[in-house]
Amino acid sequence: MGMSVGGGEEDEVVSAINTTPLVDVMLVLLIIFLITIPVATHTVKVNLPKDLNQPSKIVPDNVTLAVTADGQAYWNETPIRSHAELMARLEKVAAQQPQPQIMIRGDGGARYEAVGRLVAACQEAGVARVDFITEQPHS
């Protein structure tokens, strides 16, 4: 925004850099960051569980519920024929003191719905602890 008034040579080179557009861009970026940073850092405070990653100990009293790829559920190696049968068995397990550990093995191709039904049934029966059995990833 330099303006030359008066009589001087027309061919004079102005060597000053005009920084006004640079300052305008920097101010816009500063305003954008000031507005977006509080939104990006706003989270709900929760205490996350600590991962112990300890393998489960297989005890004869533990119950393994398995779900095949087609959605068929098994109690140890016995097929579960109905929801009522599953609930009757889970209620007997929930009444024991201490409760046996319930371990769910879901096939990789099984639908989430089939595994979710087992978890919901365990919760409904009053089972305190449900574990999932997985394999270590191959590296």
Q: Is the pLDDT of residue 7 over 60?
A: no
Identify the CA nearest to 22 among candidates 11, 14, 10, 30: 30
Predicted structure pTM score: 0.57
How high is the pLDDT of residue 80? 92
- pLDDT tens track for 17-55: 888 889 999 999 999 888 887 766 666 666 666 656 666
Q: Which residues of 101-126 are buried (b: 16+ CB within 10 A; e: fewer)?
A: bbbbbbeeebeeebbebbbebbeebe
CATH 3.30.420.270 fits 63-132, yes or no: yes
User: How far apart are alpha carbons 126 and 90 in whole angstroms?
Assistant: 8
Instruction: Tokens 């009522």: give the residue.
Output: 84
- Domain residue spans in the chain? 63-132
Alpha helices in 1-139 (DSSP H): 20-41, 83-95, 112-125
Q: What is the pLDDT of residues 41-95, one digit of tens each?
A: 666 666 666 656 666 666 667 888 899 988 899 998 899 999 999 999 999 999 9
